[in-house]
Every structure is written in C-alpha cells, then in structure tokens.
Amino acid sequence: MMNDIASQAANDRSGKKFAVKEADYSTFQRLYALGQCTPDLSSLDCENCLRNAISQIPTFCNNRRGCRITFFNCNIRYELYKFYNSVSPAPEPASSSSSPPPSPPPPSNSTSSEEGGGISTQTIVAIVVPISLAIVLLVVGFCIARRSKKTYVCTIFSVGASEISITESLQYNLSDIQAATNNFADQNRIGEGGFGPVYKGTLHNGQEIAVKRLSGSSAQGTEEFKNEIALVARLQHRNLVRLLGFCLEGEERILIYEFVTNKSLDYFLFDPEKQPLLDWSRRYKIIGGIARGLLYLHEDSRLRIIHRDLKASNILLDRNMNPKIADFGMARLFGVDQSEGNTSKIAGTYGYMAPEYALHGLFSVKSDVFSFGVLVLEILSGKKNSQFNQAHGGDDLLSYAWRQWRDGTPLALVDPTIGDTHSRNEVIQSIHVGLLCVQDEIEQRPTMASIVLMLNSNSITLPAPNPPAYFGRSRTQSSPNDLQVSDTSTGTKSPSNPSINEVSITELYPR
C-alpha cells in the first residue's frame, strides 16, 4: 500500500504531490496511510524520496501500530485510525524553517472522530495557533517526545538566520561506514582534498557511496560541517551532488554522498592522456550543466546560496558525463532578497576567487559568476589558470584569453585535442561568455540567468567584454592586510598580501 501511495503522490496531477489510501488490516481494523512531497520536486525525485522513506520502515517502525518518517522533502505515515481529513490534503512536509508536527494521539472519547473521522478539537486548536508560535513549540515538542521514545534524534543547526532540523534518517552509524569502506582502506580511497580524503564504499544493500572523511587538522570546522549538511540535504537538482547522510561519532565527522562514477572534471581536463575523452560536445554539455546548477543555487532554491569555491575539482561527472557541483563546506546561505555579504575569513582557491573577494572579503552571486568564467576558460583551453603562465610568457589564462579575443584570434585558446569536431559558433560564444564573467567591474558581469540564456540562444547579441580583473592594474588593488585567506585546495591559511599585478600572493616571513 505504501508503494502504491508513492506512485500516486509522485504522479498527482493536481501538483500537490499528495496521496492517501486505506485497507483492511484485520477483521475489525483498517489501516490508513499517507504520503506527500513538497510541490517543487519532480515526479521522479518525489517517488525516489518516498521510496527511500518507505525503506526505513523496517528500521524505525518495526512492531509499531503507527509510525511517521519525515525527510526534508517528503514524509510518509500510517496509523490504525483516520488521522487525515478525507476531503482536504494533510499539511505539507517540513520546509527549511520548521519541523513536522508530532503525530496526534489516537481518538479516544471524541464523538466526531468515532462517528465520521472528522477533525478533532485538538487539531482545530493546533491549526488556529499562530504559525510563528507553533513552529517553536512543535520543534521543541517533537524533539523531546521523539527522544523519550528513542525513535528519532532531532538536532537543531543554526545557519545564518535559519534553523534547520536534521532527523536521524540522515545519520549513519560509524560501524556501517567502516564496513562499507573496508575500514577506510587505502584501495578504497578515490580522492584527497584540503579537508581530508574521500573513499568509495558499498552499503549492505548494495548502494555505492562516496564518503568524505574530514581530517583532524582540516580547515573545515564544525560550523562548516554543519553548514554543508544543512545546505546540501535540502537541494534537489540534477547538476548538484546529492547528500545521503552524515556521521558524527567521537572525533569523526563524515559526509556520505551519492557515488558519482567518473570522478571529477580536473581528472579528465588536465590530464593529457584523458583530455581526448572530453570532445567538444561533452565540454559544451558540462559548461551548460554547471551554469544550470549555479542558477538553481542563486535563484531557484528556497534560499539563495553562494558556493564560494567553484573549481574543476569540485565538479563531479556521472556515467553520462553530466556535471554535478559538489563540496558546499564554504557555501553561504542568504535570504531571497540578499545577494552579497563580506567576511574577514577568505576561503577558496587561488585562481578562481574574484578580486573583490580575495582582496576585501566581499562576496556575492557575482563572485560565483567570476569563478564560473575561469572554469569555462579552463574547459575550453584544457589548462589550469594557476599554471598557465608557466608556458605562456607570464600571461595568466584570463590575460591570454583576452589578448586572443582582442587580436581577433579567439580560437587560439582552444585545446588542440578537441580537433575539428567543435562548432565554431559555440566555441566563440563560450569564450565570449567566459570573458564577460571575469570582468573587473562587478556590475558588468552577467547573472547566471543571463548566462544560461546566452548559452542556449544564438539570436542574443552579447555585449562586448572589458579586460578581465587580472589584466594589468585593477581598481581593487588597494587591499587591507588583515584578511585571512584559506586555500581549500591545500587547507592552508595565509595573510592576503597581493602583488601589484594581483596575480601572485606574497607571504612575508621574519629572518
């Protein structure tokens, strides 16, 4: 019956993603069940979410006469009494700012419930209570009640202005993770970042996972760890990596992601032997997918999210070479009416950071746009921005791309391994978009919505790009020296003392 509900809710034509069903449980009892997703989910994502919740029934609902399992985007519930109104849908599942209400008690002496399954007095009172007060009371009450029954564990994380409830359904036991990764065996290690190693694992049900194990000396602290959990668990997009869960036991801080088959973009893009596998059609698809993922983060998710560390190693590729943006440990969460902020702790990777962020700690959606522009030029050239000047007379990638564009030879930038398979118009348009993204003036950089439109239309006239931020002297060259910069590619920190051309970082040490 629950599986039928999952299918019905996912394909609900009303768009409410809601379904209920009842059946005889015994001669004298009937079983009532409900399933619902948030309306923003696609039918496929809704059904997957519900079936994932259903799979938890043996673990959390064993031998119980009623049970409710709630994820961020969906929930299921069954009882031996009619707990829902048969005419109108049940309340939507929890959003990013609230937790699901506790299950109402079974009807006892309520005449209306016994006679027709109507709404009880307690339910009416609960609905009338002001929402602001209800949210606080329900979160606290739910956590306390569930803790006493040892059914769920509820933890409240504070991220910016929002409080996000993480249920035990996202939490894994350390023993399960150790078994999945063969106790973090070296042969299971598939990557190494500034925050620690990444392992491939296989759960007892056969599902492949990627396990990010934060090192004890990791630059990512507890707040960043909680930040990544809270952010990624709520995101639903085909171009974003999906977080399956986390583990917090002792000193261990572990994130469990879906396993993405083809590793990261830099694995192919900067390896001369693997570069030919990225023909133009694949590179163009990767550029478009990254753009759509960023557009979702900036404008289409519930809250505006600025990634702050977009780079080739944080773009994963699935079996069809579709890109998925990963690693949200440095992301910042904003309200829908916010678009920028500042910080004294600079976190990111040299070569991808916008100058206003690297020098002054000012970050915005346009900071991600700058990083996207650098990434586009790397995908086109097959060269790392940070290493480009070693082979091109001191020019960094941005300056070289600008010179070629200015001189009317933009195709000189293109990776020779692409050969003649590329579309000249698509390549030139991509170079044009990349140069627009890395302009020095923040307001001149396009939004991700404009970029997606530019990449998908041949009829739009693009504005002429201005010199990139690192081309000669920049208006942002005056810099305070009290900012700390964390390079996430190495996990190190240093004071930000840029050189006069803003290409290199000078670190001063006493003699």
Q: How far apart (Å, rounded) are the C-alpha atoms in residues 133 and 505? A: 51
**Dist. CA 43–CA 424, nearest whole Å:** 38
- Look up residue 112 and give its amino acid: S
- β-bridge partners, 45: none
58-63 long-range contacts (CB < 8 A, ≥24 apart) are 60/151, 60/152, 60/168, 60/169
Is the Cβ–Cβ distance between 435 and 405 less than 8 Å?
A: yes
Q: Which residue has the tokens 């339910």?
A: 123
Q: Which amino acid is at 276?
A: P
Helix (H) or strand (E) holding 359: helix 355-360
Which residue in 309, 327, 440, 487 is the catalytic one?
A: 309
What 202-207 contacts at long range (C-beta under 8 Å, 24+ apart), as own/partner pairs, is 203/176, 204/176, 204/179, 204/180
Q: Are 113 and 79 in contact (CB under 8 A)?
A: no
CA distance 47 to 361: 42
Q: Which residues pair with 317 in a beta bridge?
A: 323
129 forms bridges with which residues in the sheet? none
Query: How far is 449 from 446, CA to CA, in rounded Å?
Result: 8
Q: Is 309 a catalytic residue?
A: yes
Q: What is each CA distance from 35 to 52, 119, 341, 507, in whole angstroms?
A: 12, 19, 39, 58
Which 3-state string (H, E, C) describes 167-216?
CHHHECCHHHHHHHCCCCCHHHEEEEECCEEEEEEECCCCCEEEEEECCC
How many Å apart are CA 41 and CA 47, to the nearest integer?
Answer: 9
Give Cβ neighbours of residue 416 (< 8 Å, ≥ 6 apart). Answer: none
CA–CA–CA angle 125, 126, 130 (5° rounding): 100
Cite the active site residues: 309
